[in-house]
């Protein structure tokens, strides 16, 4: 008799085969396949995977990238002429909206967010949670899209690296040695077996093949190293005392150029430094782990390293150039890539300015009883506030507590992003669920994963939202604070 996990797994892969067959049938009709995907790295990687798969199959398709699924967008989709609608890295948390609006349309969802309990007859729903997998850690939106692309045609196995990029973009590497686990591990095997990915254990500074060491250290924000992250000059001073040649002749060395002993020296100095700042040992340990190298990519481009590729896609999306990211993921290079790299530079500058602002200006970052709050007012772009919350939750905060960041949204609402730091003892706390419940009560929309969630609220309801979150975190968190 098959055990429960086996049954779940069978069901998951049966659904994937069904989705693959539906897409193939629609390709044969030559009618428009409409694809809607999410603006973050995972969503763009998913769009790259499906876009390439449909292009190879000579399908008639169009991709749209959105920041979240709203009633307005669904209304626009209703008015279009398409035979199949596919949602990627979103949709599972908006089943009520899709059910109410899209009664006559064939739908597929490739997602890994917690699904709502709504049944839609014409929907083929691919979501790991429906088969008892952990959608936060074990597979991403790009991952489920990849498994379906492979079920459509095994030659799409060469798209496995993009699924790995999607998983890394969604921080699914928060495991021992920063490795990918569960269904992601099977995808890594596909990529390794076809020679597209090399997995090694190394020092995880950002830009290990491309950047001078001090810059790689300054760009590293996971963990956030107070005083060094986002501070290039300080990093140069920090490394100068280590008796390591930072240059060979006129060329800056990269992490990749260093000997094992040199890397150990750097790691040990950072670990001592972090410890002197009161960080737990686990923060330093996140600097060593698995790296995923895309062996077919140019050594000096961000697509070479899985985590850098994810940051690059994320930058395109957050700078409202998601289409460029998808084009690169589908294989475009030349001028498209040049333009996207320029976007990446601008994004880094913007992010660095925002971080300086949040850290240096008094009262932008406040500590309440159970949470931290960032008030981005009109300063921080609504598409970047989530990244700021992610970075600051990974080592900057003195106390391990959830961080809730707010800013104005272009449609007159308030955008909120919440993140829970790695070492926070969550107890029963599921940020995605409480974001959804509280924002619905306040006539907004919200949702997400247990450790990362977002919401869009009506103006002037933000204080009530913060109050409710602060209270619920206190109640559900493992140890209830009493001060
Ligand atoms: O917007 P932000 O990056 O803060 O969102 C964090 C996570 O919550 C993302 O995975 C996003 O897809 C999800 N989310 C959601 N429903 C919303 C807003 C965000 O599922 N309404
Ligand atoms: Zn995702």
- Each residue of 180-224: pLDDT tens digit? 999 999 999 999 999 999 999 999 999 888 889 999 999 999 899
Spatial CB neighbours of 368, under 8 Å, sequence gap ≥ 6: 466, 470
- What is the rounded end-to-end Cα distance, in angstroms, of the chain? 53
- What value does the mean pLDDT take over residues 212-241? 92
Give yes or no for residue 1 having a pLDDT over 70.
no
Among protein residues, the one with the nearest Cα to ligand 1's atom 3 is 386
For the chain, percent of residues with pLDDT exceeding 90: 82
* Ligand 2 mean position, distance from CA 257 (Å): 33
Give yes or no for residue 298 having a pLDDT over 80.
yes
**Nearest atom of ligand 1 to the alpha carbon of 446:** 21
* Ligand 1 mean position, distance from CA 169 (Å): 13
Choose the weakest-confidence range: 17-26, 319-328, 378-387, 419-428: 419-428
CA atoms within 13 A on the CB side of 307: 26
Spatial CB neighbours of 254, under 8 Å, sequence gap ≥ 6: 207, 208, 209, 210, 211, 212, 213, 216
What tokens does 377 get?
A: 């007012």
Q: How far apart are CA 419 and CA 427, in angstroms?
A: 15
Q: How far apart are CA 340 and CA 80, in angstroms?
A: 29
Give yes or no for residue 483 having a pLDDT over 70.
no
Among protein residues, the one with the nearest Cα to ligand 1's atom 5 is 454
Please report which ligand is nearest the Cα atom of 144: 2
**Nearest atom of ligand 1 to the alpha carbon of 170:** 10
Q: Could you tell me the pLDDT band of residue 10, with boundaries at 50, 70 and 90?
A: confident
Q: Where does 294-406 have alpha helices with state H?
A: 306-318, 322-329, 334-360, 385-393
Ligand 1 contacts (CB < 6 A) are 38, 68, 93, 113, 386, 417, 445-449, 452-455
**In whole angstroms, how large is the CA radius of gyration of the chain?**
22
Q: How far apart are CA 30 and CA 450, in angstroms?
A: 40
Dmax (CA) for the chain in angstroms is 68
Please report which ligand is nearest the Cα atom of 454: 1
Among protein residues, the one with the nearest Cα to ligand 1's atom 6 is 453
What per-residue confidence (pLDDT) applies to 481? 41
CA 408 from chain centre, in angstroms, equals 22
Q: How far apart are CA 291 and CA 314, in angstroms?
A: 18
For the chain, percent of residues with pLDDT exceeding 70: 97
Q: Could you tell me the pLDDT band of residue 7, with boundaries at 50, 70 and 90?
A: low
Q: How far apart are CA 113 and CA 129, in angstroms?
A: 8
* Ligand 2 mean position, distance from CA 167 (Å): 7
* Ligand 2 mean position, distance from CA 341 (Å): 23
pTM for this predicted structure: 0.93
Q: Looking at domain 362-476, does it have CATH number 3.10.310.40?
A: yes
The preferred substitution site among 136, 409, 436, 453 for testing ligand 1, maximizing ligand atoms within 8 Å of CB, is 453
Among protein residues, the one with the nearest Cα to ligand 1's atom 12 is 448
Task: Output the average pLDDT for the chain.
Answer: 93
* Ligand 2 mean position, distance from CA 172 (Å): 9
* Ligand 2 mean position, distance from CA 209 (Å): 26
- What value does the mean pLDDT take over residues 422-447? 91
Q: Could you tell me the pLDDT band of residue 82, with boundaries at 50, 70 and 90?
A: confident
Q: Residues spanned by CATH 3.90.1640.30 within the chain?
A: 2-158
**Tokens 């995605």, residue?**
432
Q: Residues spanned by CATH 3.10.310.40 within the chain?
A: 362-476
Q: Could you tell me the pLDDT band of residue 6, with boundaries at 50, 70 and 90?
A: low
Instruction: Report which of 83, 89, 104, 36 is spatially closest to residue 64, judged by C-alpha positions.
Output: 36
Instruction: Report which of 425, 402, 406 is spatially closest to residue 415, judged by C-alpha positions.
Output: 406
- What value does the mean pLDDT take over residues 5-19? 85
* Ligand 2 mean position, distance from CA 43 (Å): 6
What per-residue confidence (pLDDT) applies to 81? 84
What per-residue confidence (pLDDT) applies to 424? 87
**Tokens 């729903």, residue?**
125
Q: How far apart are CA 96 and CA 241, in angstroms?
A: 59
Complete DSSP assignment for 8-61: HHHHHHHHHHHHHHHHHHHHHHTPPEEEEEESSHHHHHHHHHHHHHHHHTT--E
CA atoms within 13 A on the CB side of 71: 6
Topology at the third CATH level for domain 2-158: inorganic pyrophosphatase (n-terminal core) (3.90.1640)
Q: Using omega within 30 degrees of 0 as the cis cutoff, is the peptide bond preceding 191 cis?
A: no
Please report which ligand is nearest the Cα atom of 127: 2
Element (H, E) at 366: strand 365-367
Q: Could you tell me the pLDDT band of residue 479, with boundaries at 50, 70 and 90?
A: very low
């Amino acid at each position: 008799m098959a055990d429960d996990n086996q049954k779940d797994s069978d069901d998951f892969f049966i659904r994937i085969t069904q989705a693959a067959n539906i897409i193939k049938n629609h390709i044969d009709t030559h009618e428009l396949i409409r694809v809607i995907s999410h603006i973050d790295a995972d969503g763009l990687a998913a769009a790259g995977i499906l876009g390439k798969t449909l292009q190879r199959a000579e399908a008639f398709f169009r991709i749209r990238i959105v920041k979240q699924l709203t009633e307005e967008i669904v209304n626009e989709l209703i008015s279009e002429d398409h035979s199949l609608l596919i949602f990627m890295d979103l949709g599972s948390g908006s089943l009520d909206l899709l059910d109410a609006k899209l009664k006559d349309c064939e739908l597929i969802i490739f997602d890994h967010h917690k699904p709502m309990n709504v049944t839609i007859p014409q929907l083929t729903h691919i979501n790991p949670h429906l088969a008892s997998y952990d959608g936060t850690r074990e597979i991403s939106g790009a991952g489920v899209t990849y498994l379906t692309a492979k079920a459509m045609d095994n030659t799409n196995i060469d798209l496995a690296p993009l699924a790995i990029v999607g998983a890394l973009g969604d921080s699914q590497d928060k495991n021992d040695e920063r490795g990918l686990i569960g269904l992601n591990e099977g995808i890594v095997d596909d990529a390794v077996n076809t020679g597209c990915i090399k997995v090694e254990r190394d020092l995880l500074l950002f830009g290990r093949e491309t950047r001078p060491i001090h810059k790689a250290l300054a760009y590293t924000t996971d963990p956030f190293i107070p005083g060094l992250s986002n501070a290039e000059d300080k990093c140069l001073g920090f490394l100068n005392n280590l008796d390591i040649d930072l240059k060979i002749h006129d060329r800056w060395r990269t992490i990749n150029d260093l000997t094992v002993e040199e890397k150990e020296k750097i790691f040990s100095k950072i670990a001592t430094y972090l410890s002197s700042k009161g960080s737990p040992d686990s923060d330093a340990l996140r600097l060593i782990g698995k790296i995923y190298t895309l062996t077919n990519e140019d050594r000096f481009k961000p697509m070479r390293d899985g985590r850098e590729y994810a940051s690059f896609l994320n930058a395109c999306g957050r700078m409202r150039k998601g289409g460029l990211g998808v084009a690169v993921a589908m294989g475009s290079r030349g001028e498209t890539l040049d333009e996207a790299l320029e976007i990446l530079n601008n994004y880094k500058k913007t992010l660095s300015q925002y971080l300086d602002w949040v850290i240096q200006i008094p009262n932008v970052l406040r500590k309440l009883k159970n949470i931290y709050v960032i008030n981005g007012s009109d300063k921080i772009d609504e598409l970047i506030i989530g990244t700021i919350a992610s970075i600051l939750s990974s080592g900057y905060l003195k106390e391990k507590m959830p961080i809730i960041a707010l800013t104005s949204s272009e449609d007159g609402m308030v955008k909120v992003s919440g993140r829970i730091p790695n070492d926070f003892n969550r107890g029963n706390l599921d940020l995605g669920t409480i974001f959804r419940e509280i924002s619905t009560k306040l006539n907004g929309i919200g949702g997400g994963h247990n450790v990362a969630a977002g919401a869009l609220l009506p103006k002037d309801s933000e204080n009530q939202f913060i109050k409710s979150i602060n209270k619920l975190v206190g109640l559900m968190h493992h140890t209830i604070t009493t001060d």
